[in-house]
Amino acid sequence: MTRAQRLLTLIQILRNHRYPVTGAHLAGELGISLRTLYRDIATLQEQGAPIEGEAGLGYVLRPGFLLPPLMFSKDEIEALVLGARWVAHCGDEYLADAARHTLGKITAVLPEALRHTPDATTLLIGPSPERISGGADLAVLRRAIRAERKLTFDYRDANDACSARTVWPFALGFFDNMRLLVAWCELRQDFRNFRTDRIGKLSVAEQRYPRSRQALLREWRECEGIPPQ
């Protein structure tokens, strides 16, 4: 591994940790001495990487720092291409367009030796059921989740019973035959999943819901026994 590759790997390791990581742990992951690790940290800081911390306390990379997308391995490229193709094939109109544009941007910045890999990958997306139509506009749901806005809608359940709901949306689940909105329901005072094709008369409130979507997602995962991704 060249020093340039090691520095990029060090940044990636720091990005994978939300809390300070000791120098000994970082040095162990990279297979280098502590002295070399401290030298690498100093080099990255001099080049503008927002790494905070010091020897004996640990290091953390402040959120928002972006890596140049030029050092993907072939496995990483195939993973990105496969994911983008799935979204382009199975996502709603806006997500599909975003996936295609993303794939084009990734290809444009790859080194010449790897530029053919996206087109040559042998990982393919299989056929899926017909595109899901009707129900809630997924783009509206995503915007409400990002803005942490309450949603009000009419909902028809599996028994065709209708009810008016006000919910705090915080996640969308994409499945081959359905899309699920995950939210805290004020009516039930609990977490509920709503099939988006059964949602009608949707409106987004100006009012933000009282908790962050990250906190709701974390609590929902704990209730469902779902490990963090």
Q: Please indicate, yes or no, whether residues 47 and 83 belong to a single structural domain of this protein.
A: no
Query: Do the beta carbons of residue 24 and residue 34 sit within 8 Å?
Result: yes
Query: Do the beta carbons of residue 14 and residue 61 sit within 8 Å?
Result: yes
Mean pLDDT of 35-51: 90
- Min mean pLDDT across 1-10, 12-21, 119-128, 201-210 is at 119-128
Query: Do the beta carbons of residue 44 and residue 7 sit within 8 Å?
Result: yes
**Digit-coded pLDDT (tens) for 130-147:** 566 668 899 999 999 999
| Torsion on CA atoms 107, 112, 113, 115, rounded to nearest 10 | 20
Q: Which helix (H) or strand (E) holds 135?
A: none
Q: Please indicate, yes or no, whether residues 91 and 23 belong to a single structural domain of this protein.
A: no
Close Cβ partners of 103 (under 8 Å, ≥ 6 residues apart)? 80, 81, 84, 85, 88, 118
Q: Is residue 201 part of a domain?
A: yes
Domain of 145? 138-224
Query: Do the beta carbons of residue 130 and residue 151 sit within 8 Å?
Result: no
Q: Please indicate, yes or no, whether residues 186 and 210 belong to a single structural domain of this protein.
A: yes
The DSSP string of 158-217 is: TTS-EEEEEEEEEEEEE-SS-EEEEEEETTTTEEEEEEGGGEEEEEEEEEEPSS-HHHHH
Q: Give the pLDDT of residue 91.
A: 79
Q: Please indicate, yes or no, whether residues 111 and 153 belong to a single structural domain of this protein.
A: no
Between CA 159 and CA 165 the distance in angstroms is 16
Q: Please indicate, yes or no, whether residues 150 and 190 belong to a single structural domain of this protein.
A: yes
Q: Please indicate, yes or no, whether residues 116 and 157 belong to a single structural domain of this protein.
A: no
**Digit-coded pLDDT (tens) for 55-72:** 788 999 887 666 554 567
3-state secondary structure (DSSP) of residue 155: strand
